[in-house]
């Protein structure tokens, strides 16, 4: 090459120029952490206030509801059903605790963006940040509630979880799936008011078929195949496997839940992207 001539960059040089430096990625990650952390604190303050230990209600509400439902079933089925050998109290207490997260994440999604729309004036805050922070808070609360319920069952009835890691995996799978569903609900509620009105009735209709209050093995053969089309049934079966181990027979397919969750995530992300210009115009 002649002296003074400027040569074209090689493919390696062009690739190096397109790579984002690790320092910038690390800084972006730190900013994202601060944004999500601030949104979590804001969510706590808005929902529970700043005084009188209001934060405890995040755990107290699912604990009280779970204890009430499990106590009613335990008293009703005491000595009357062979399934009571599994501890009816433990079965319903922990099952409803996990379903409460489904109800909280998906049920509150319809109003999740409307109440936080002013935050979008900050360029570093996105609708996904607002929803992710809320769902992360609900997931952490559910993990703590399941741990407290399991500890109470272990102390009162001497029933120790067979595999706590499977129970944790069930909580994480439920949170993953709920996040995708919540994205769809939040996006739909931004465009159609009917979505908000239908969400809560559908959540209550989902409760008896979710798997929270039954095992697939208890159902007739024809209903077993039908129930397994519902991904939440697989999650609750995984929860029961970790809770009771070999004392029961469970049926679940984690790959099926993962495929459903990925589909919900992709559809939810596309829906949020589609409604974001509508949110900014308002």
Q: How many other CB atoms are there within 10 angstroms of residue 71's CB atom?
A: 14
Query: Which contacts qualify for 81-90: CB closer than 8 Å, 24 or more apart?
Result: 83/218, 85/247, 86/244, 86/247, 86/248, 87/153, 87/157, 87/159, 89/153, 89/156, 89/157, 90/149, 90/153, 90/157, 90/159, 90/243
**What are the structure tokens assigned to 12, written together?**
């390696």
282 residues of the chain, pLDDT tens digit each: 444 444 445 555 444 455 557 777 777 778 777 877 888 888 777 777 766 666 777 777 788 887 888 777 777 766 544 444 577 888 888 888 899 989 988 988 887 777 666 676 777 777 888 888 888 888 888 888 888 888 888 888 888 888 999 999 999 999 999 999 999 998 888 888 888 889 889 999 999 999 998 999 999 988 999 999 999 999 999 999 999 988 889 999 999 999 999 999 999 999 988 887 776 555
Question: Residue 113: CA atoms inside 13 Å, Cβ hemisphere, count?
Answer: 26
Distances (CA, A) of 3 to 6, 7, 147, 201: 9, 10, 72, 77
Q: Which of 130, 188, 143 is nearest to 169 (CA)?
A: 143
Q: What is the pTM of this model?
A: 0.82
Question: What are the residue ranges spanned by the domains of the chain?
Answer: 20-281
Tally of CA atoms within 13 A in the half-sphere of 268 that contains its CB: 24
Which residues neighbour 109 within 8 Å (Cβ) at sequence distance 6 or greater?
A: 131, 181, 182, 183, 185, 186, 189, 199
């Amino acid at each position: 090459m002649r002296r003074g001539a400027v040569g074209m960059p090689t493919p390696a040089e062009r690739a190096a120029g397109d790579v984002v430096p690790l320092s910038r990625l690390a800084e972006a990650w730190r900013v994202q952490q601060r944004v999500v952390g601030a949104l979590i604190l804001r969510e706590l303050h808005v929902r529970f206030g700043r005084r009188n230990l209001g934060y405890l209600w995040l755990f107290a509400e699912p604990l009280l509801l779970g204890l009430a439902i499990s106590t009613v079933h335990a008293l009703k089925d005491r000595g009357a059903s062979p399934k009571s050998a599994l501890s009816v109290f433990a079965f319903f207490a922990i099952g409803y605790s996990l379903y409460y997260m489904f109800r909280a994440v998906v049920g509150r999604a319809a109003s999740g963006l409307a109440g936080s729309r002013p935050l979008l004036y900050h360029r570093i805050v996105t609708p996904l940040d607002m929803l992710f922070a809320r769902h992360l808070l609900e997931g952490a609360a559910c993990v703590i509630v399941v741990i407290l319920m399991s500890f109470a069952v272990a102390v009162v009835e001497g029933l120790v979880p067979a595999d706590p890691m499977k129970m944790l995996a069930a909580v994480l799978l439920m949170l993953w799936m709920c996040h995708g569903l919540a994205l769809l609900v939040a996006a739909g509620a931004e465009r159609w008011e009917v979505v908000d009105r239908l969400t809560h009735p559908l959540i209550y209709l989902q409760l008896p078929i979710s798997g929270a209050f039954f095992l697939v093995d208890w159902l007739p053969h024809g209903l077993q195949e039908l129930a397994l089309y519902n991904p939440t049934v697989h999650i609750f079966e995984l929860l029961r496997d970790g809770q009771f181990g070999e004392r029961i027979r469970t049926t679940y397919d984690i790959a099926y839940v993962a495929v459903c969750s990925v589909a919900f995530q992709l559809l939810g992300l596309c829906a949020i992207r589609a409604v974001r210009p509508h949110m900014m115009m308002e």
